[in-house]
Chains A and B, each alone.
Chain A
Amino acid sequence: MPGDRFPNPTIRRDGTGFVPHTHTEVHLMSAILEARDLTKRYRLGETDVDAVRGVSLSVQEGEFVALMGPSGSGKSTLLHLLGGLDRPTSGEVVLEGEVVSELSDEDATRLRRDKTGFVFQSFNLIPLLDVTENVALPFTIAGGSRDAEQATRVRDAIALVDLADKAHHRPDQLSNGERQRVAVARALVTAPALLLADEPTGNLDYTTGSEILDALWLSCVARKQTIVLVTHDSKAAAYADRVLVIGDGQIREEIVLGRRAVHDAAPLIARLAQLGL
């Protein structure tokens, strides 16, 4: 039972569904990722827009967290800040003890390469490279000679997303779902401390989307992979251990689902409906 890993699963239920957790801060033991009072302000024409407003959160090692919210709620911006793709206006992000938000561009790049993996909504593969090469891209970028261990990792990552038979196909020979699975394998291949996924199922139909989520979930279960997923789809969010509902740049709600083998989104959907999302 995967959930057994959690020493004290904070699953709260009442008769109708989930008990809302009203605090915006969640304190867990051995947090791998922490955000403290994060703010991101954009200049939009004449006005300033606060995309993220004083968000603090903490993600435990091996945890699968979903950030949910309507369009423009700031969930993607928050994800970018967490992964070091963007710099916060104030506040800090700490990944495995390293203050991401204070790193130089060079160091942030290295951190992305070594400690994080990204999956985007569009199937961002390099069209020129085949599946294996795309998956091995982080190693290739890092340079140095390809060792046997890396080769094994690449094979394992491809196997995890069930594409071993198409290891040498080009992206244009794959279906959309397969392409996104390649992207997942690429994000996982370095066994990053943190995998960030931004609407990975946004461009996919229901069945293909499930394949991606299954792959993510599997990595979480089998490899203790920490995942932060941004989605507006409650079926996707239902894969997570915990859902943070974002609205107006703040965490509005925390819903703890716990690790489940069978995903039933119905209670979550009901709760989100209650929240008007």
Chain B
Amino acid sequence: MGGTFSLGWLAWRSLAARPVRSVLTAIGIALGVGVLAASLATSAGIDAAVDRTVVDILGRADLRVAAFQEAGLSAETIQAIRATGGVEAAASTLERRTYLRRPVAFVGALPAPVSVLGIEPDVDASVHALRLAEGAAIDRPDAPTALITERLATEDGYGIGGEVTIQALGDSETFRIVGIIDGDGPILGSNGRTVVIPMDAARRIFGAEGVDSVDLTMTAGSSATEVIAALEANLTREPYVLSTPTELASSLRASTADFQATTALIAAIALFVGAFLIFNTFSMTLSERVRELGLLRAAGATRRQAMGFVLTGALIVGVIGAALGVFIGLGLAALIAAHVRTIGAIPIDDVAFPLGGATLAFLVGLVVTVAAALEPAWRAGRIPPIEALRAGLDLAPARRARLRWLVVVFAAVAVVGLLAWPRAAGEAGIVTSLAVYAILLGATLLSPFLLGPLGRLAGIPFAAVLALEERLARGSLARDRSRTALTLGALTIGLAMIVAIGGVAQDARRSAGAWLEDVVPGDEVLTSIRPVGLDEGVEASMTAIDGVARVTPIARFDLALRGARVDAAAVIGSDLLADGRLTFVAGDRATALASLDRGGTAIVAASVADRLGLTVGDLMSFAVGDGRTVRLTVSGVAERTLPGAGGETILVGWSDAVDSFGVAGADVFAVRFAAAAGTSAGDAARASVHEMARERALEPAALNRIEGAVSDALGRVFALFDALAVIAVLVAALGIVNTLTMNVVERVREIGVLRATGMTRRQVRQMIVVEAGVLGLVGAFLGVVVGLLAGAVLVGASGGFSGPAELPWGSIGLAVVLGVAASMAAAYYPARIASGLPIVRAVQFE
């Protein structure tokens, strides 16, 4: 095997002879692998968080019976559950949101809310598994003791032995903290701010009659099917939802699917861009080493050995780069996890780096590297010994092969991407991602043809200042069209991702904003921590405030339709009509809204109508317990309705809500002011409303603040995607360094002549920087166009807002600046080489 060894040694020497290029290539691979590893680790972190949350929520429970109506599950139902055969233990829980009273009075906005969880201390431990970081569990049902989550303790400065005062309906109540719950606690979406108190206290504080859910364990030997059947026979009093831990986990996972899919797509793109870099690097090295390879062949090296020489080099770079990438991925994953945690909507755990994921990322990096080097290696094997020894061998025919090979690499990365695809992301995600991926590839294949005309355009601003430099720079870019095209393609793809993400973000923000404004009949919403009965007079007393035009109560609740949970909201139709809310796609607006108040009808959102196949006039049957059903006729389909927990709501009138569905009261009041904020009348009205809200424990929030919170959360998610896409641009910039350097190396003599003819070092540097600038501008232009296209596909696939699209100017600006800046920064090294060339050696260079 002596031959192989020396070949490997030669390959190593060849890499060492071009340290900058080799290192840049390895870093390019490392960044691509890093993003992939981070994406896998993030996915694993999300999965782990989901699994943990399921355990935190359900503990040892085998089944959860959740209340369907606002009144909750009655004591009789709990009794019936406990009496069901096969049920070993059953523990009920009640969950509400409220605020903690600070020990000292504070002025200004309300603090972040907390979730309060009521438990049955005597049976809870046998069903749930609250993990305590310190202290002890609540031992007595009647003691005023509480557990708080570690995060809440840290954020608000509570400790064991301290007291928490919970804002109740009437007077607030104080509990002594006896234990700290490990981590974020058992309630998802509470941002880790949870207080656990005895059930009786919780019911008293929130005026709740029933409980939210009952979690149960089964006796050994009983089967879930039997227990479920028994429960279904026993529980006839009120509607409920039965779910298993698996169902809970999959519904949690579904909410993170888009996030995971997008991260995976960006990882695939970073890898693809990395593959460009590798391919270009080895092609360049090959054209430089043609003579050397020819010599090897003349000296008796076989084709396989010549191929082996190139592939060994790729393998070395691949191993180093991929290993480095795994470590980068580790750090990146930690950063992503920290960032995602600030968003709150997506659960994520710290990732003990999964060995499987690390190995997968490493292998994928290696495979992509070697795959990208296969074509150059194959070409290396086909170099005729005699021709290689001739000076100035033209590898032109091989250049066309590069683009063909690109398609193969694209396919390879796509296949790898499919293999590494997160299960949760679903098939629609795959199709969309492949479509986006194909658009990017198409743009790359077109770029050699667009390079000339676009380059001329992009050169105009530079030519105005540096005519000669611009001309020579453009000539240099045209020297090896396919090499430039590949480099440009990588840059285009990275920048396109940024623009596409910007487009999607814009659409998401816009639809979120437009949605609320279109459907909420108010400038502010007042949220209650308990249902406020319509007979309590809140509406009337607030409407009496000068400057308040309208106050309308809204209740959000769940309905059971065709065996599935749907979101519903109780509204006053005439208020919506008077306020001019809702855009109807079917049915008459005035008739539909008026009929809501009379009862017997409902308005559904277009998305719900599509999903359930409903049209105006259809009859919907809702199960309301005791085997009874309530039927409502679809009186209209609105483009958007009020948002619910899991989607848009079915709007029903208050009479149906109270009489048929047991809705106890409003949890939201929408307030429309007569005067705008900022005017003295408007501000006075707002102040009065806020004062009244405080008295009644209602939390006021301006609609634009809610929109702001939504777009802030969106902003954080998309900022993360942007950051990942920037890494792809970074990889592309490494490719630019390589290409520009190659362009310098190939025209050393030309640069020597220019210097001998009187070009200053500065002018030479400028020439290279202009070359990079033209490349950057063309890349930015193509990136913006392709990105808008890809963004439209992504938006369309997610059923996004269908109105006339507004361009994501922020992202476009970012892409242009980043494209030009990254390219010009990439020119630093080659420009230094070029301007530092000794003239005498340069003009004699062959």
Of all chain A residues, the one with the shortest Cβ separation from B841 is A86
A137 touches B761 (CB 8 A): no
The stretch of A118-126, A159-167, A233-241 in contact with B is: A118-126
**A interface residues, tally (CB under 8 Å):** 26
A140 to B750, CA, bound (A): 15
Q: Which residue of A lies closest to B755 (CB)?
A: A109
- Which one of A118, A125, A126 lies within 8 Å of B756 (CB-CB)? A118
Please state if A118 and B840 are interface contacts (CB–CB under 8 Å): no
In the assembled complex, the CB of A196 is this many whole angstroms from the nearest CB of chain B, namely 9
For chain B residues 144-171, which have a beta carbon within 8 Å of chain A? Answer: none
- Whether A126 and B749, one on each chain, are in contact in the complex, defined by CB atoms closer than 8 angstroms, is no
The reply to whether A124 and B468 contact each other, CB–CB distance below 8 Å, is: no
| Binary interface encoding of chain B residues 468-480 relative to chain A, with 1 for a CB under 8 A from any of its CBs, else 0 | 1001100100000
Within 8 A of B (CB), among A205-221: none
Q: Do B753 and A141 touch across chains, with their CB atoms under 8 A apart?
A: no
What residue of chain A has the Cβ atom nearest to residue B752's Cβ? A124
Q: How far is the CA of A125 from the CA of B747 in the complex (A)?
A: 11
Task: Judge whether B758 and A142 touch: CB under 8 Å.
Answer: yes
Within 8 Å by CB of B471, from A120, A128, A138, lies A128
Cα distance A120–B845 in the bound complex, in angstroms: 12
Judge whether A186 is part of the interface by a CB distance below 8 angstroms: yes
Q: Is A232 an interface residue (CB 8 A)?
A: no
Measured between beta carbons, the chain B residues less than 8 angstroms from A120 are 753, 756, 843
B807 interface contact, C-beta 8 A: no
Chain B residues closer than 8 Å to A83, beta-carbon distance: 756
C-alpha gap A137/B450 in the complex (Å): 29
Question: Could you say which of A124, A125, A141, A186 contacts B759, with CB atoms under 8 Å apart?
Answer: A141
Q: Is the CB of B754 closer than 8 A to any CB of chain A?
A: yes
CB neighbours of B838 from chain A (8 A): 86
From B753, B756, B758, B838, residue with most partner A Cβ within 10 Å: B758
Q: Please determine whether B757 and A137 come into contact, CB atoms closer than 8 angstroms.
A: yes
Distance from B837 Cβ to chain A, minimum over Cβ atoms (Å): 12
Q: B746: shortest Cβ distance to chain A, in Å?
A: 11
Nearest A residue (CB) for B471: A128
CB-CB under 8 A from A122, the residues of chain B are: 749, 843
Q: Nearest chain-A residue to B760 (Cβ)?
A: A109
Q: Does A141 contact B475, Cβ atoms closer than 8 Å?
A: no
B749 touches A109 (CB 8 A): no
**A109 touches which one: B468, B472, B761, B840 (CB < 8 A)?**
B761
Q: Does B418 contact A (CB under 8 A)?
A: no
- B839 CB-CB contact with A under 8 Å: yes
Asked if B763 is at the interface of the complex by the 8 Å CB criterion, the answer is yes
Tell whether, in the assembled complex, residue B756 and residue A85 are in contact, meaning their CB atoms are under 8 Å apart.
yes
**Minimum distance in angstroms from A172 CB to a CB of chain B:** 13
Which chain A positions have C-beta within 8 A of B839? Answer: 80, 85-86
Q: Do B759 and A109 have beta carbons less than 8 Å apart?
A: yes
Q: Is A127's beta carbon under 8 Å from chain B?
A: yes
Chain B residues with Cβ below 8 Å from A114 are 758
**Listed residue (B750, B752, B843) with the most chain A CB atoms within 10 angstroms of its CB:** B843
Residues in A whose Cβ lies below 8 Å from that of B750: 124, 126-127
A75 sits at the interface (CB 8 A):
no
Please name all residues of chain A whose beta carbon is closer than 8 Å to the beta carbon of B754 when the two chains form the complex: 126, 137, 141
Which residues of A, 152-206, contact B by the 8 Å Cβ criterion?
A: 186
Distance in angstroms between the alpha carbons of A188 and B754 in the assembled complex: 15
Residues of chain A with a CB closer than 8 A to B843's CB: 85, 118, 120, 122, 124
Q: Is the CB of B752 within 8 A of A141?
A: no
Q: Indicate if the CB atoms of A141 and B763 lie closer than 8 Å.
A: yes
Q: Mark B759-777, 1 if CB is under 8 A from A, else 0.
A: 1110100000000000000
A122 CA to B748 CA, complexed, in Å: 13
What's the nearest-Cβ distance from chain B to residue A105, in Å?
6
Tell whether, in the assembled complex, residue A86 and residue B759 are in contact, meaning their CB atoms are under 8 Å apart. no
Q: Does A21 contact B (CB under 8 A)?
A: no
Q: For chains A and B in complex, what number of residue pairs have CB atoms within 8 angstroms?
A: 69
A259 on interface, CB distance cutoff 8 Å: no
Compute how far the CA of A141 lies from the CA of B755 in the bound complex, rounded to whole angstroms: 10
Cβ–Cβ < 8 Å partners of A124 in chain B = 749-750, 752-753, 843
Chain B residues near A242 (CB-CB < 8 A): none
Nearest Cβ on chain A to B685's Cβ, whole angstroms: 68
CB of A106 within 8 A of chain B? yes
In the bound complex, CA of A158 to CA of B840 (Å):
26
A112: chain B residues at CB < 8 Å are 755-758
Which residues from chain B contact A86 at a C-beta distance below 8 Å? 838-840
Which of A105, A122, A129 has the most B CB atoms < 10 Å from its CB?
A122
Complex Cα spacing A193 to B60, Å: 96
Q: How far is the CA of A125 from the CA of B750 in the complex (A)?
A: 7
CB distance from A258 to the nearest CB of B (A): 31
Instruction: Chain B residues near A118: list those with CB within 8 A.
Output: 753, 756-757, 843
Pair B757/A141 contact, Cβ less than 8 Å: yes
Question: Is A138 a contact partner of B758 (Cβ separation < 8 A)?
Answer: yes
Contact, CB under 8 Å: A106 / B840: no
**Does the CB pair B840–A85 fall under 8 Å?**
yes
For chain B, residues 808 to 846, give those with C-beta under 8 angstroms from any C-beta of chain A. 838-840, 843
In-complex Cβ contact of A140 among B468, B749, B760, B840 (8 A):
B468
Interface flags for A101-114 (1: CB within 8 Å of B; 0: not) read 00001100110111
Least CB distance, A118 to chain B, in whole angstroms: 5
Q: Is the pair B758, A109 in contact by a Cβ cutoff of 8 Å?
A: yes
CA distance A225 to B753 in the complex (A): 21
Whole-angstrom CA separation of A83 from B468 in the bound complex: 24
Q: Nearest Cβ in chain B — how far from A77, in angstroms?
A: 8
A159 to B367, CA, bound (A): 61
Q: How far is the CA of A124 from the CA of B468 in the complex (A)?
A: 17
Please name all residues of chain A whose beta carbon is closer than 8 Å to the beta carbon of B749 when the two chains form the complex. Answer: 122, 124
CB contacts (< 8 Å) of B468 on chain A: these are 137, 140-141
Q: Which residues from chain A contact B760 at a C-beta distance below 8 Å?
A: 106, 109-110
Question: Would you give the 0/1 interface string for A62-85, flagging 1 where the beta carbon is closer than 8 Å to chain B?
Answer: 000000000000000000100101
The answer to whether A128 touches B752, judged by C-beta atoms less than 8 angstroms apart, is: no
Nearest Cβ on chain B to A94's Cβ, whole angstroms: 19
What residue of chain A has the Cβ atom nearest to residue B478's Cβ?
A128
B465 to chain A, nearest CB (A): 10
User: Which residues in A have their C-beta under 8 angstroms from that of B752?
Assistant: 124
What CA separation (Å) do A85 and B839 show in the bound complex?
Answer: 6
Tell me, in angstroms, the Cα distance from A126 to B476 when the chains sit together.
10
Candidate in B750, B754, B757, B761 with the most chain A CB atoms within 10 angstroms:
B757
Bound form: Cα–Cα A258–B46 in Å: 91
A57: shortest Cβ distance to chain B, in Å?
A: 19
Known: A85-B839, A120-B753. Contact between A105 and B761, CB under 8 A? yes
A110 vs B762: C-alpha distance when bound (angstroms): 12
Instruction: List residues of chain B with CB within 8 A of the CB of A140.
Output: 467-468
Which of chain B's residues have a CB closer than 8 A to the CB of A85?
756, 839-840, 843
B758 touches A110 (CB 8 A): yes
**Complex formed: what's the CA distance from A140 to B843 in Å?**
20
In Å, the complex CA distance between A127 and B746 comes to 13
**Assembly CA distance A15 to B752 (angstroms):** 47
Q: Please name the residue on chain B nearest to A143 by beta carbon.
A: B468
Min Cβ gap B194→A in Å is: 70
A232 to chain B, nearest CB (A): 15
A86-B840, A124-B843 known; 10 other A-B pairs, CB under 8 Å? A85-B840, A105-B761, A106-B761, A112-B758, A113-B757, A114-B758, A120-B756, A127-B750, A128-B472, A137-B757
Query: 16 pairs across A/B with beta carbons < 8 Å?
Result: A80-B839, A80-B840, A85-B756, A85-B843, A109-B758, A112-B758, A120-B843, A124-B749, A126-B472, A126-B754, A127-B475, A129-B471, A137-B757, A140-B467, A141-B754, A141-B757
9 nearest A-B pairs in the assembled complex, by CB-CB distance = A113-B758, A128-B475, A124-B753, A109-B760, A140-B468, A85-B839, A118-B756, A112-B758, A141-B759
Task: Enumerate chain B interface residues (CB-CB to A < 8 A).
Answer: 467-468, 471-472, 475, 749-750, 752-761, 763, 838-840, 843
